[in-house]
């Protein structure tokens, strides 16, 4: 009797789950906060850091689970200092941190109750990294997101397999829905044991784009546990129902230089773009191709000019230290933001779309013109919604300009340009 009633209720349940998603007031408020925050720290960290060859090392080197598990005794991050990491993010001017709770190797960076494939159960370190980081974030007023991989190279029930993870030595069998139950159980742990969580940043859907991921059930679970938690999914597609923000990997919204975003049309949700400092997400000891502070500032500014946040990545070492090349760049960005943050935080994309010379951002009646690349002494701008009352250098004196019915001409002598970004604030009438 009970079973037949459950079967009759299934279509009702399915209809509920496919119903249009209405974000709660707390969620809408969180989206507003997110859009104003503009800058966050991405952290890719897990047992893979031991090999110093990026977070894909298990797949790339065709390492079996048995061999990969031998890395565990070496993962002992005694130099990890949550307070120092959060302080570093704050000093860099970042308003949130997004850390890998679980990457594609399936390894949990917290003390999971539904698995022993985690830092607390299997490493000499034994401590719950996420707990320490969450406590510190709450203490220092920095919001915390968890990056969570749908894709799993370790779990036996991740079957049928997708594009990756074919050489880990798992039997060619498994129960897909049992895997999804496991994933939801872990998500439940993350949203019930770590205080307020700003959101979940999913990745790995693309490994099995045709699979039934039961996404809506997972999304509804998250929103029922923490209505304000923002869900984003790096599936490289336009946003799915139930998501709260849209991310672009290694590209500004609308661009596709890295090849991930061919189908990622810009939707109506808050936007974010993520990028690395060298070329690796997880710690890579031989990758020394660091972007300059100037390049990173330009990326942040261009992201703001595209109405997007910038999530800048570090891959900490296996001992828990963040390498000095990363630390230095983050600190330098913080110095720049302390002087120029007014033109980034709390702004929206400005009235002039992104250009080769730079971008515009806007707050109320003030338009910030970010001149990043200009060979001439003058910059011509199209007409703005209202006349310009005043033009000033941010943190500086007046800027000479002329305005007629065609547009505005700003005088920007090369000798007086800023090393990174010459910012002109235009106050509109
Ligand atoms: O495969 C991952 C990769 O390791 C990394 O986490 C990045 C971050 O955006 N996303 C995936 C590739 O799309």
Question: What is the structure's pLDDT at 78?
Answer: 98
| 7-18 pLDDT per residue, tens | 555 544 554 555
**What CA–CA distance (Å, rounded) separates 253 from 24?**
26
Question: What is the structure's pLDDT at 86?
Answer: 99
The residue-averaged pLDDT of 345-354 equals 97
Question: What is the structure's pLDDT at 1?
Answer: 39
Q: What is the DSSP string of 16-47?
A: HHHSPP---HHHHHHHHHHHHH-EEEEE--SG
Q: How far is CA 87 from the centre of its chain?
A: 18
The ligand 1 atom at the shortest distance from the C-alpha of residue 103 is: 6
| 368-388 pLDDT per residue, tens | 999 999 999 999 999 999 999
The mean of the pLDDT values for the chain is: 95
Question: What is the structure's pLDDT at 6?
Answer: 52
**What CA–CA distance (Å, rounded) separates 262 from 273?**
15
The alpha carbon of 260 and the centre of ligand 1 are apart by a number of angstroms equal to 10
Question: What is the structure's pLDDT at 18?
Answer: 59
The residue-averaged pLDDT of 361-366 equals 98
pLDDT surpassing 60 at residue 281? yes
- Spatial CA neighbour of 277 closest among 102, 56, 103, 44: 44
Question: What is the structure's pLDDT at 8?
Answer: 53
Mutate to test the pocket of ligand 1, among 249, 273, 312 (most ligand atoms within 8 A of CB): 249
pLDDT surpassing 90 at residue 19? no
The ligand 1 atom at the shortest distance from the C-alpha of residue 282 is: 4
The alpha carbon of 59 and the centre of ligand 1 are apart by a number of angstroms equal to 13
| 181-202 pLDDT per residue, tens | 999 999 999 999 999 999 999 9
**Residue of minimum CA distance from atom 9 in ligand 1:** 249
Cis peptide before 160 (omega within 30 of 0): yes
Q: Write down the pTM of the prediction.
A: 0.95
| 389-427 pLDDT per residue, tens | 999 999 899 999 999 999 999 999 999 999 999 999 999
**What CA–CA distance (Å, rounded) separates 118 from 46?**
10
Pocket of ligand 1 (CB under 6 A): 44, 55-56, 203, 234, 249, 260, 274, 281
**% of the chain exceeding 70 in pLDDT:** 96
| 68-87 pLDDT per residue, tens | 999 999 999 999 999 999 99
The alpha carbon of 196 and the centre of ligand 1 are apart by a number of angstroms equal to 25
pLDDT range class, residue 135, cuts 50, 70, 90: very high
Mutate to test the pocket of ligand 1, among 203, 205, 233, 237 (most ligand atoms within 8 A of CB): 203
């Amino acid at each position: 009797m009970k079973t037949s009633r459950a079967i009759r209720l299934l279509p009702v349940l399915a209809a509920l789950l496919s119903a249009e998603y209405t974000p709660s007031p707390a969620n809408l408020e969180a989206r507003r906060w997110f859009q104003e925050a503009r800058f966050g720290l991405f952290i890719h960290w897990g047992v893979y850091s031991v090999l110093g060859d990026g977070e894909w090392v298990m797949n790339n080197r065709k390492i079996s689970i048995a061999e990969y598990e031998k890395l565990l005794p070496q993962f002992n991050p005694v130099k990890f200092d949550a307070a120092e990491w959060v302080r570093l993010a704050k000093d860099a001017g970042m308003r949130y941190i997004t850390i890998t709770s679980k990457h594609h190797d399936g390894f949990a960076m917290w003390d999971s109750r539904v698995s022993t494939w985690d830092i607390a159960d299997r490493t000499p370190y034994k401590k719950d990294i996420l707990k320490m980081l969450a406590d510190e974030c709450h203490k220092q007023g920095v919001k915390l997101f968890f990056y969570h991989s749908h894709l799993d190279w370790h779990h036996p029930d991740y079957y049928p397999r997708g594009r990756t993870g074919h050489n880990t030595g798992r039997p060619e069998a498994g129960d897909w829905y049992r895997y999804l139950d496991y994933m939801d159980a872990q998500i439940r742990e993350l949203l019930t044991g770590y205080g307020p969580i700003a959101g979940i940043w999913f990745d790995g859907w693309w490994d099995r784009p045709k699979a039934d991921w039961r996404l809506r059930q997972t999304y509804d679970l998250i929103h029922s546990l923490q209505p304000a938690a923002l869900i984003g999914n790096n599936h490289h597609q336009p946003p799915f129902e139930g998501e709260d923000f849209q991310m672009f990997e290694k590209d500004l919204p609308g661009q596709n230089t890295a090849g991930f975003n061919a189908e990622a049309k810009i939707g109506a949700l808050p936007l974010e773009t993520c990028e690395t400092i060298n070329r690796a997400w997880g710690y890579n000891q031989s990758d020394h191709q660091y972007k300059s502070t100037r390049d990173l500032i330009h990326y942040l500014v261009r992201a703001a000019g595209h109405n997007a946040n910038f999530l800048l990545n570090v891959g900490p070492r296996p001992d828990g230290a963040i390498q000095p090349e990363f630390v230095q760049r983050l600190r330098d960005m913080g110095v720049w933001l302390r002087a120029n943050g007014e033109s980034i935080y709390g702004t929206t994309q400005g009235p002039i779309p992104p250009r080769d010379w730079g971008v515009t951002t806007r707050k109320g009646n003030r338009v910030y013109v970010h001149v990043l690349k200009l060979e001439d002494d003058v910059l011509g701008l199209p007409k703005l919604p209202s006349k310009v009352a005043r033009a000033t250098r941010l943190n500086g004196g007046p800027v000479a300009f002329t305005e007629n019915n065609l547009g505005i001409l700003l005088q920007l002598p090369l000798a007086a340009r800023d090393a990174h970004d010459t910012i002109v604030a235009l106050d509109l009438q």
